[in-house]
Chain A
Amino acid sequence: MNKIIDKVNFSENVVKLVIEAPDIAQKRKAGHFVIVKIGEKGERIPLTISQADPEKGTITLVIQKVGVTSHKVCNLNPGDLITDVVGPLGQATHIHNSGTILCAGGGVGIAPLLPIVEAMKKAGNRIVTVLAARNKELIILEDQIRAYSDEVIIMTDDGSHGNKGLVTHGMEEVIKREKVNEAIAIGPAIMMKFASLLTKKYNIPTVASLNTIMVDGTGMCGACRVTVGDKTKFVCVDGPEFDAHQVDFDELLLRLGAYKNEEKQAYEQYLETLN
């Protein structure tokens, strides 16, 4: 049982929670995630550790409501207990100095991007970050990202904040303008697919952080498997970050939809219980 210390509503559907988890806060590095379960009958879902404070013994999660479990997590309040939190899981980001790094974050993917931007900046890189979302409301953590970026470009689908357009427009602008040594893309699978196609065109090594369906998060079940360079990899233990140009995003997209009908039905039923 882990206690919620603080909560911030970024928007109607995106929430930040600060959670007491001293062991995890000690060990966690950029790129790590936790698995969270709400209630005895709950589902296990993966969430990236966006920030951590080893002194206070807390970790920060940023969650977007997409279905039953993420909704339940977002509805928790300071003082509430989370039934299960386990981690830190996955491989930490390989932090190094490569020159200029183009970081692209889409929607709630901005949360996992934050610790990477911070660590890469501290390693001496020049950081240009492109944040993208449907509208102004969904651009989260902008100030924190700015603190560790040399430049931030904002893209929204409706133009309500920054420039109007997709994440790839912002990225291409940077690539055409200056030498980019490396790119990182985190966001919805479809966004990472197109970001990856773009950087491939320009031969820029790119890392994507994959958000597959998971169960245990320790390599035991294979629910999280993806094809990377013709090999099957387990995202929870081999990833979550991979060479984006090697990832079979179409397979990833199909596998993410594995329970679409079941999930949609469960979510509708759940939302009714809230009324």
Chain B
Amino acid sequence: MTNNPEYFKAERDQEWRVALRSQIKNKERTSRERVKMPEQDPNIRNKNSLEVNLGLTEEQAVSEAQRCIDCPNPTCITGCPVGINIPKFIKYIEARDFLSAAKTLKETNSLPAVCGRVCPQEVQCEAQCFYTQKLKKPAVAIGHLERFAADFERNSGKISIPEIAERNNIKVAVIGSGPGGLAAAGDLVKMGYSVTVFEALHEIGGVLKYGIPEFRLPNDIVDVEINNLRKMGVEFITNFVVGKTSSFEDLKAKGYVAFFTASGAGLPRFMNIPGENYVGIFSSNEYLTRVNLMGAAKADYDTPVLFGKNVAVIGGGNTAMDSVRTAKRLGAERAMIVYRRSLDEMPARIEEIHHAQEEGIEFMNLNSPVEYFADESGRVNRMRLQKMELGEPDSSGRRRPVPLTSSEYDVDVDMVVVSVGVSPNPLIPSAVDGLNITKWGTIHVNPDNMQSNISDLFAGGDIVRGGATVILAMGDGRNAAAGIHAYIQQTLVN
């Protein structure tokens, strides 16, 4: 594989990189300011669904690439779950060979345009960058550069389709078309397998399509990646719920010899407080699905959605940020985040919190709803909040919120989005007899190859990790593809 030190060293020793390093002194490189991503104006973007981040210009990208000092020991790579050769792709940008930069990304990451947009870089690659670690300066903008290279390739119309091994006619099934499933399908098809991706919904892409909104990740970008997989020979079957439309046994009878399950963590949690089933109270999954997947806010689509004037979103993660910013864009006068801990403890990406603040989202931290009230038609019209303070740290290391007695007060709302987490989708776990499930309902796998206790069933992404990230799901998909390959070689080929 590509993630061993000799490979990184050999690449770094290539003549063009040596030459590039000598062109600008490190002192000069490290004295530059980090690039600022051009953005739509907050007061304009909070009324449209266009992307907030506009992307770096070529000049900005090259200049930012020059900040990277091409470290002999590039610690940034250890922070990337799929081990992208970060200095190599960045140096290609510095050399203005943007297509080679994109190709480098694709050595290990099949969806760079997606990851460049949605990875929590500040806790992954950028957290391990020499700048962050040693210089105590803002990291090289690895995510922005990744996005730049991927977008450049897409817009150039010269997308490189990876080489594919000779077809071996061995059938492998992938269940779920989110990032985990797509990454596994890409690798398996490259190895020569006949890959079918089964998707329960009518669209391919999982959370990338139904969850993350257009203003952060346009669907077109996801579609380009999916079409590449199609060109590579991956077959996609929508409207197919494995475990319902066909069982695993049925699929085996059709010739599938191994399975990768990336069915996600699609089961929304509620708080089970009085009034939570009133009209106008949604899970974030329902709200975002209506808007993103079903086009509910557009006049010519049949699916309806409610438009609130005073919208409260309960929770502090990415999903909560996406919901509240969507509500603002759909005309909410007050769009509020209600979160039981303080701003510092919010699990959402820092960039999203900043963007939300700029767009006029109200943050009601250290508050938690205890009850909802409704008018005679059953539509929510008021919520009762309780104030919280932070106590001792809990098992997650974060300080535990403790309710303050007699602190309840009421706030008018006409729409509420509950975004307090998701549980693993129980469909697959309950469809396989004897499958080893953890007490959280996730599938138990061997982390080295993502194999479950059922030897032909591999799993990864949110169904294994609970709620995780796009890049972790993709890393699992790639790991599982390697695991499935080894398994098939052992059991079938000889």
Contacts and interface: CB of A to CB of B under 8 A. Distances in A.
Contacts of A37: 202
A251 B379 CA distance: 11
B221 to A, nearest CB: 19
B30 interface: no
A86 B378 contact: no
Nearest to A262: B304
B30 to A, nearest CB: 47
A23 interface: yes
B266 A41 contact: no
Main secondary structure of the interface of B (DSSP, over half): loop
A24 B266 contact: no
Interface string B303-330: 1101000000000000000000000000
Contacts of B302: 39, 41-43, 68-69, 266
A159 interface: no
Interface size range on B against A? 35 or more
Specify which of A69, A86, A225, A232 lies most central, judged by the most chain B CB atoms within 10 Å of its CB.
Answer: A86
Contacts of B331: none
A103 interface: no
A28 to B, nearest CB: 10
Contacts of B250: 26
A257 B200 contact: no
Contact of A41 (B200, B285, B301): B301
Contact of A84 (B238, B282, B283, B306): B238
A39 B252 CA distance: 32
Contact of B285 (A44, A222, A257, A266): A222
Contacts of A26: 250
Interface residues of A, number: 41
Given A219-B427, A220-B285, A232-B277, 18 more contacts: A23-B245, A84-B202, A84-B238, A84-B239, A215-B286, A218-B241, A218-B427, A220-B267, A221-B289, A222-B270, A225-B277, A227-B277, A232-B270, A257-B377, A262-B304, A262-B306, A266-B302, A266-B304
**What 9 A-B pairs are tightest by C-beta distance, nearest first?**
A254-B378, A221-B286, A86-B239, A43-B302, A220-B266, A262-B304, A222-B283, A259-B304, A43-B303
Interface of B: 200-202, 238-241, 244-247, 250, 266-268, 270, 272, 276-280, 282-283, 285-286, 289-290, 294-295, 298, 300-304, 306, 377-378, 425-427
28 contacts: A23-B245, A27-B247, A37-B202, A41-B298, A41-B302, A43-B294, A43-B301, A68-B302, A84-B202, A85-B239, A86-B202, A215-B286, A215-B294, A216-B200, A218-B201, A218-B425, A219-B425, A219-B426, A219-B427, A221-B283, A221-B285, A222-B270, A232-B276, A254-B279, A254-B377, A254-B378, A258-B279, A266-B304
